[in-house]
Amino acid sequence: MHEQAFRFGQARHLVGVVGLPAVIDHGVGVIFLNAGMVYRVGPFRLHVELARRLNALGYPTLRFDLSTIGDSGASGQRLSRPDQVVADVRDAMELLKQQSGCGRFVLFGLCSGAQNAHAAAHADPRVAGALFLDGYGHRTLGQRVRHYLPRLFSPTVWRHRLTRRHAEAPATPRANEPAFVVEPLPPAIVREQLTDMLTRGLKLDFVYSGGVARYFNDIRQFRECFGRLADHPGISASHFKETDHTYVLSGDRQKLLDHVEQWMGRHFPLTRPGT
């Protein structure tokens, strides 16, 4: 495994680290997009751990910072944020192609990174697959039933309500922190774009954590959200109910790494493994 740092992009405004396996397969490279405002190493170094695991298997990787995040600066171009993200990912693909020779790419994104990966995957034909962690999904009737029904019949919940005692409640709801959020695409548009991607032959994987139970709380919900798309052989979904949104525990990160390794091996098998 070999890692090299780069300043790159049309305006040399982007910063990233390319990881190369000992033997380059010239097949598919994996690009990591920022999870929210966390810089390229990812939450609790998730991207570093996963990139190195993939390098050891034989996949080239690039973890980089989008414009104005982490170590990357502004491009100076007058683009909307969604267009800038797509332009940045194109620059990233160009760099990884120069360094590794691979011409197809898998995008990895968590949270807003999943939204950005979705946009770039839809926009660029060189994207062959994407891993969306806590990506698109919306509340459904089933989600509400699964959320509220157990509470309706829970003596503990009723006791707390009636007595207004909170001594047994182990968690105090966290106050909302000020945050910049991006308005997600409407579900109909998401479905339409996913259909386009699958028609183009992309492989897509959705992983939902227990940290987003406010909008996704059961694997059955994937079908409720995306209907017959859920049956498409190019799409898969998992629900890691026990994990949190940012994979703070190392065991949870390892489980995710194992999952990604298996998914990559299934859809993008290497002919010449890196180690």
Partner 1 sequence: MKARVEAELPFYFGPGRELFGFYHPAAAVTGTAVLLCAPFGVEQIRCHRLYRQLAHALAETGLPVLRFDYYGTGDSGGETKDFDWVRCMADVVTAASELRNRHGGGRVLAFGTRLGANAALAAAQAARLDGVVAWDAIADGSALVRQYDSMQEALKVDLNRFEYARPDMDVSSQWPGFVRGDHLRDQLHALRLLDPGITSAWLASALPDEASLLPERYHQRRVSVDVSPRWDDVDCLEMAILSHPLIDAAKRHLKEMA
108 part of the interface to partner 1, by CB under 8 A = no
Instruction: Pick between residue 170 and residue 233 the one whose CB is nearest to partner 1.
Output: 170
**Per-residue DSSP letter, 44:** G
Instruction: Pick between residue 17 and residue 54 the one whose CB is nearest to partner 1.
Output: 17
Instruction: Pick between residue 24 and residue 212 the one whose CB is nearest to partner 1.
Output: 212
Q: Quick one: which H or E segment has residue 259?
A: helix 250-267
Residue 237 CA to its chain's centroid (Å): 12
Near partner 1 in 161-190, by CB under 8 A: 170-174, 177
49 part of the interface to partner 1, by CB under 8 A = yes
| C-beta neighbour count of 147 within 10 angstroms | 15
| C-beta neighbour count of 116 within 10 angstroms | 24
- Greatest pairwise CA separation for the chain in angstroms: 66
Mask: binding to partner 1, 227-256, rule CB under 8 A, as x and -? Answer: --------------xxxxxx-xxxxx----
105 part of the interface to partner 1, by CB under 8 A = no
Closest CA to 131 of 192, 202, 204, 198: 204
Q: Which residue has the tokens 């397969």?
A: 25
Say which amino acid occupies 242.
E
Q: Which residue has the tokens 């300043």?
A: 7
225 part of the interface to partner 1, by CB under 8 A = no
Q: Which two tokens stand for residue 207?
A: 């992983």
Which residue in the set 20, 30, 31, 38 belongs to the binding site for partner 1 (CB under 8 A)?
A: 38
3 part of the interface to partner 1, by CB under 8 A = yes
142 part of the interface to partner 1, by CB under 8 A = no
Say which amino acid occupies 139.
R
In whole angstroms, the minimum distance from the beta carbon of 190 to partner 1 comes to 25
- Please give the residue ranges that form the binding site for partner 1 (CB under 8 A): 3-7, 12-13, 15, 17, 36-41, 43-45, 48-49, 70-71, 73, 76, 170-174, 177, 210-211, 213, 241-246, 248-252
